[in-house]
Amino acid sequence: MKNVASDDYGPVAKTLHWVTVLLVIVAWTLGMFGEELSEKSAQGSALLTHIWIGLTILVVAIVRIPWRIANPPPESVPTEFGRWLVEWTDPASRLMHYVLYGLLVVVPAFGIALQFAQGHSLPLFGLGEIPSPWLADKVFAHNVKKVHEVLANVLVILAAFHMVAALVHHIVFGDNTLRRMLPRLRKLM
């Protein structure tokens, strides 16, 4: 839980945030470039890793969303320069977070649907697998793959925008938006 007297996020929220960032970067990279690998065995390993990371993102999101509800983020502390922006940036920030959380669930869900649409079982971290409830359907699988890819790209683009917004808050407005998620940088910044 976060420290009530602090304007920082708590250690659980910070950990879930940065684990999610890392997982999304790796999953997106494997999804975009895994098929570019020269050997079929490397492609298969990349796909399996992509699936496992996608499932992990889904599990982390399922933990993270209730955690966020039970432990709301600390209030923003506006600077003199940025005070006028709070009226519209706070609602925009909240909306951005809701969309990002939604995508963290929807993108892996479409990945699971893609696996099933291809007639493949869903591997569960080497512990077992869930057989496809559907027969393979190439057209449906193609459509699901396109939606999965578009939503994954939207997730990465919005996450990049989220990162840029945090940097703008830090560099331009001089507020604590970035620092409260990066405790180690507090002493450096």
Tell me which of 85-99, 114-128, 129-143, 144-158 is least confident: 85-99
Enter the tokens of residue 30. 């494997």
pLDDT for 18 equals 93
If you average pLDDT over every residue of the chain, what do you get? 86
- Whether residue 79 is predicted with pLDDT greater than 80 in this model: the reply is no
User: What's the pLDDT tens digit per position in 148-175?
Assistant: 999 999 999 999 999 998 888 788 877 7
User: What's the pLDDT tens digit per position in 6-62?
Assistant: 677 888 988 999 999 999 999 999 999 988 888 888 899 999 999 999 999 999 999
Global pTM value = 0.85
Indicate the DSSP class of residue 129: E
- Dihedral sign (CA 86, 9, 62, 16): positive
pLDDT for 1 equals 47
- Whether residue 185 is predicted with pLDDT greater than 60 in this model: the reply is no
pLDDT for 184 equals 61
Helix then strand count (H, E) for the chain reads 4, 2
Any idea where the domains of the chain sit in the sequence? 11-185
Residues above pLDDT 90, as percent of the chain:
58
Q: What band does 73 get if pLDDT is binned at 50, 70 and 90?
A: confident
Distance CA(148)–CA(137), nearest Å, equals 16
Q: What band does 65 get if pLDDT is binned at 50, 70 and 90?
A: very high
CATH of domain 11-185: 1.20.950.20
CA angle in degrees (0–180, nearest 5) for 77-80-84: 85
3-state secondary structure of 30: helix
- Helix (H) or strand (E) holding 130, with range, is strand 129-130
